[in-house]
Structure 1
Amino acid sequence: MIDGLMKDVIDPLWERMAQPLVRAGLTPNQVTAAGLALILLASGAYLLHQSAWVFGLTLAVAFAFDALDGAVARQRGMMTKLGGYFDAMVDRYQELVVLGAIAWVSGHWALALLGFSGAMLTSYAKARTAIEVPVDNAAWPDLFERLERVIYLCVMLVLVGVTGADWLLASGLALYAALCHFTALQRMRRAAALLAAVDADKP
Structure 2
Amino acid sequence: MKDVIDPMWESLARPLARAGFTPNQVTAAGLVLIVIASAAYLWHQSHWVYGLTLACTFVFDALDGAVARQTGLSSKLGGYFDAMVDRYQELVVALSIGWVTGHWALVLLGFSGAMITSYAKARTAIETPVSNTAWPDAFERLERIIYTCVLMVLAGVLPWDWVLPWGLGLYAALCHLTALQRARRAAAILREVDAGRGD
**Letter in structure 2 aligned against 1:27:** T
**Of the candidates 93, 107, 123, which is equivalent to residue 102 of structure 2?**
107
1:183 and 1:192 mapped to 2: Cα distance? 14
Structure 1 gap segments, 5+ residues each = none
Matches for 1:39-188 after TM superposition, within 5 Å: 39-188=34-183
% identical aligned pairs: 73
2:18 and 2:159 mapped to 1: Cα distance? 42
Deviations 1:40-78 (A, max 9, x none): 010000000000000000000000000000000000000
Q: Say how many residue pairs are matched.
A: 198
**Letter in structure 2 aligned against 1:163:** L
Deviations 1:96-125 (A, max 9, x none): 100110000000001000000000000000
How many angstroms does 1:12 deviate by?
1.4
How many angstroms does 1:164 deviate by?
3.9
Q: What's the counterpart of residue 15 of structure 1?
A: 10
- Secondary structure at 2:129 match in 1: coil
How many angstroms does 1:94 deviate by?
0.4
2:28 and 2:74 mapped to 1: Cα distance? 16
Q: Which runs of at least 4 in structure 1 moved beyond 2 Å after TM superposition?
A: none
- Secondary structure at 2:150 match in 1: helix
